[in-house]
A and B are shown apart, each in its own frame.
Chain A
Amino acid sequence: NAGVTQTPKFQVLKTGQSMTLQCAQDMNHEYMSWYRQDPGMGLRLIHYSVGAGITDQGEVPNGYNVSRSTTEDFPLRLLSAAPSQTSVYFCASTQVVGTEAFFGQGTRLTVV
């Protein structure tokens, strides 16, 4: 039982490039979400999903895209990377909305 797995752990992008951050969970959780963490700040919600085929925006969704085709996977896409998207990205899952959250190990993204 691996829990929540994020790949890659580190990534450097050039401005304008696109990429996908992967997130997978093996706990059969319905709810998954993406957060970003910037220095001196707590985590901020980007997008979330309450189940396969359902996604919605969080606090800071601009510049990011998500989809949820399976219960296990919730990828986060950066369409055209900008330096302002330099951050550490965390994926989380819970059994259902409003229960204990489990986080992946994070992806440290640098956009130059």
Chain B
Amino acid sequence: GIQVEQSPPDLILQEGANSTLRCNFSDSVNNLQWFHQNPWGQLINLFYIPSGTKQNGRLSATTVATERYSLLYISSSQTTDSGVYFCAGKYSGGGADGLTFGKGTHLIIQP
């Protein structure tokens, strides 16, 4: 199967700071998605972004499918942005019809 590498693994920032999270895939994927797991464990879908750029408020994401990576930008961070951010995708060459997840970036926003 594919390997999904996320960086950085941990990030501690002050409120108001900006950040960029990266996701690299070992092979071509489709269905690329970003999720936020809040401190209560709930998984929220942030972006479905197989290619191109999308924005939603202070968050935006860019996927360059040909180079097998995706970036998640968080601007003007708030304490509610804390949690773990996961990227996931499905190997486009076949296999099980499910998502392969990275290990996540643990983000802490301090007031």
Contact = CB atoms under 8 A, between A and B. Distances in A.
A100 B98 contact: no
Interface residues of A, number: 27
Interface string A37-66: 000111111001010000011110000000
A58 B91 CA distance: 13
A42 B88 contact: yes
The dominant DSSP class at the B interface is strand
A8 to B, nearest CB: 14
Interface stretch (A21-29, A69-77, A102-110): A102-110
A42 B102 contact: yes
A56 B103 contact: no
Contact of B96 (A41, A48, A108): A48
A31 B96 CA distance: 12
A106 B39 CA distance: 13
Contact of B103 (A31, A40, A48): A40
Interface of A: 31, 33, 35, 40-45, 48, 50, 56-59, 88, 90, 97-103, 105-106, 108
